[in-house]
Structure 1
């Protein structure tokens, strides 16, 4: 399973890249605003800055909700760097835009997916990736990982090549469970990835090794 970091913070992206396990980045207007990135020119430059750090896909989200606007924005984003993946919302015109981008060999990430039916539509349109938001599904008292498993099974049965990108991951356990059910990618804050390092027995074992080393 590939690890993407979900942020617009360049320092965190560089830290994840230096850690040696970063495969890509996802971001969105909310994350850009959190970093104080405002204005079209500044946003486009920030995407370029991210691509300079990451040797992998970088999802860049369109703002428009109509077909023409999404296509125009997506073409501009795709021109920024070869690693850009155009992030398109799961709406009717979004599916049309994904089909257009697919026909023109532009990679896409279909975002805001909350059902298997939506995932089927995205794959039929040729989406490169589909992003089910498992944390938000959990917030509604459903099982987000169960949706990941359902989509993975459908894609395998139908031969769809679209990658399943588990999004809205809230903790390290989400990552492990998504890996178990066959997600191709997970995207999450760096803290969730680093949380995979933690286990009390590791801490106890290391302390014992270091204590024994002092007695050699």
Structure 2
């Protein structure tokens, strides 16, 4: 399973990349705003900086909601760097735009996926990735990880090549559950990735080794 970090914070991206396990980055307008980045030129420059830091797919989200707007904006984003993946919302014109991008060799990430039906449509249009928001699904009283499993089973049966990118990850257990359910990628905050490192028995064992090492002089 690939690991993407879900942030626009350059320090966090660098820290995750320095671990040697980072495969890509996902961002959105909210994450950009959180870093105080606004205006088309500044946002585009930030994407370029991220692409320079990470050798992997970088999802850059469009703001338009009509076919013409999505395509026009997506072409500009895709031209910033070969690793840019155009992030498109799961709406009718979004699906039409994904098909256009697919036919023109531009990678896409269909975002705001909340059902298997939506994931099927995105795959049929040729999306490179689909992003089910499992944390938000859990918040609504449904099982987000179960949706990952359902999509994975459908894609395997139908032979779809679209990758399942588990999004809205809330904790380390979400990451593990998504890996078990068949997600191809998970995108999550740095804290969730770092939480995978931790286990109390590891801490106890390390303390014991260090104590014994001191006794050996």
User: What is the 5 A alignment of 1:82-93?
Assistant: 82-93=82-93
d(CA) in 2 for partners of 1:34, 1:66: 26
Output aligned runs, 1:94-133, within 5 Å: 94-133=94-133
1:143 corresponds to which residue?
143
For 1:212, the equivalent position in structure 2 comes to 212
Gaps in structure 1 of 5+ consecutive residues: none
Gap regions ≥5 residues in structure 2: none
Aligned-partner Cα distance in 1 for 2:130–2:147: 12
Compute the displacement of 1:181 (Å): 1.1
SS of structure 2 residue aligned to 1:25? strand
TM-score relative to the length of structure 2: 0.99
Question: 3-state SS of the aligned residue for 1:164?
Answer: strand
**Deviation (angstroms), 1:141:** 1.1
The alignment status of 1:170 with 2:170, answered yes or no, reads yes
**Residue in 2 aligned with 1:199?**
199
Other-structure match for 2:17: 17
Measured after TM superposition, the shift of residue 83 of structure 1 is: 0.1
How far residue 168 of structure 1 moved from its aligned partner, in angstroms, is 0.2
Q: How many residues align?
A: 216
Report the secondary structure of 2:121's partner residue. Answer: helix
User: In structure 1, the residue corresponding to 2:44 is in which secondary structure?
Assistant: helix
Cα distance in 1 between the residues matched to 2:2 and 2:177: 14
Tell me, in whole angstroms, the C-alpha distance in 1 between the residues paired with 2:17 and 2:156.
Answer: 31
- Three-state SS of the structure 1 residue aligned to 2:51 is helix
Secondary structure of the equivalent of 1:22? coil
